[in-house]
């Protein structure tokens, strides 16, 4: 699995270098994940920032990978909703439903 990409690269932005040096996945998506992880750190982590990042790099990234999975699912559902609305606008009600089911 490529889940490590969704943990390591977004955490790498916290060092100040916002260039991912990795252009296989959309960079804006990695920026959004980085912001989500920082919010998670602020709300749920009693440890220092350095300890938070080190633990996720070297020990276990399970919590951040779970956040990434949920976030990716929300983005996928939002993409289908936007596709339905766009299909409705361009081709009517039937076009919207066909656009959502097209593979």
Average confidence score pLDDT of the chain: 89
Q: What is the pLDDT of residue 5?
A: 85
Is 99:87 a contact under the CB 8 Å cutoff? yes
Q: Token pair for residue 96? A: 């919207």
Look at residues 35, 30, 36, 42 and name the one whose alpha carbon lies nearest to residue 4.
30
Every domain of the chain and the residues it spans: 5-101
Q: How far apart are CA 54 and CA 75, in angstroms?
A: 28
Is the separation of the CB atoms in 75 and 13 below 8 Å?
Answer: no
Tell me if the pTM is above 0.85. no
Q: Is the pLDDT of residue 52 over 70?
A: yes
Q: 76-96 pLDDT, tens per residue?
A: 999 989 988 998 899 888 888
């Amino acid at each position: 699995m490529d889940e490590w990409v969704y943990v390591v690269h977004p955490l790498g932005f916290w060092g100040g270098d916002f260039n991912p040096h990795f252009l296989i996945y959309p960079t804006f998506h990695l920026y959004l994940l980085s912001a989500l992880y920082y919010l998670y750190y602020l709300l749920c982590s009693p440890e220092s920032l350095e300890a938070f990042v080190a633990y996720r790099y070297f020990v276990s990234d399970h919590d951040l990978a779970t956040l990434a999975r949920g976030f990716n699912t929300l983005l996928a559902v939002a993409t289908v909703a936007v596709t339905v609305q766009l299909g409705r606008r361009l081709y009517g009600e039937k076009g919207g439903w066909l656009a959502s089911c097209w593979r």
